[in-house]
């Protein structure tokens, strides 16, 4: 029997091409990245693209807007299983791309 995480991993593998190309703007101006906006974007993106119901996405509390800066967030589904998400800033204006890190 597959676990809920098995469904999340299977959905990620099937949607890997789509998931690897997720990008949006998470900027709020000179005060750095809007981490809440970023977390919500990742949360919605995983749910929409995989059909897996998510519980939360947690990223670092603060990040500057700096091209090339990368960091990781943790996405957790409603069964409590988690995956890591790599976020890369594509410019110094708050545009980011994210992808699930497959283990």
Q: What pLDDT digit, counting tens, does each position of 4-37 carry?
A: 445 555 454 444 434 445 766 676 555 689 999 9
Question: Averaged over 59-76, what is the pLDDT?
Answer: 93
Query: Is the pLDDT score of 85 beyond 90?
Result: yes
Q: What is the pLDDT of residue 103?
A: 66
Query: Is the pLDDT score of 94 beyond 90?
Result: no
Query: Is the pLDDT score of 82 beyond 50?
Result: yes
d(CA 11, CA 44): 14
Q: What is the pLDDT of residue 22?
A: 76
Tokens describing residue 50: 């995989």
Query: Is the pLDDT score of 81 beyond 80?
Result: yes
H-helix or E-strand spanning residue 79: none
Q: Structure pTM? A: 0.76
pLDDT band, residue 64 (cuts 50/70/90): confident
CA 64, 68, 71, 77 torsion: positive or negative? positive
Kindly give the pairing relationship between strand 54-58 and strand 22-25.
unpaired
């Amino acid at each position: 029997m597959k676990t809920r995480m098995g469904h999340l991993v299977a959905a990620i593998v099937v949607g890997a091409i789509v998931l690897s190309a997720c990008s949006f703007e998470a900027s709020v101006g000179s005060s750095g990245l809007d981490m809440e906006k970023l977390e919500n974007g990742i949360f919605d993106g995983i749910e929409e693209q995989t059909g897996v119901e998510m519980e939360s996405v947690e990223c670092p509390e603060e990040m500057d807007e700096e091209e090339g800066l990368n960091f990781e967030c943790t996405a957790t589904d409603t069964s409590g299983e988690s995956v890591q998400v790599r976020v890369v800033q594509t410019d110094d204006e708050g545009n980011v791309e994210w992808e699930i890190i497959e283990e």
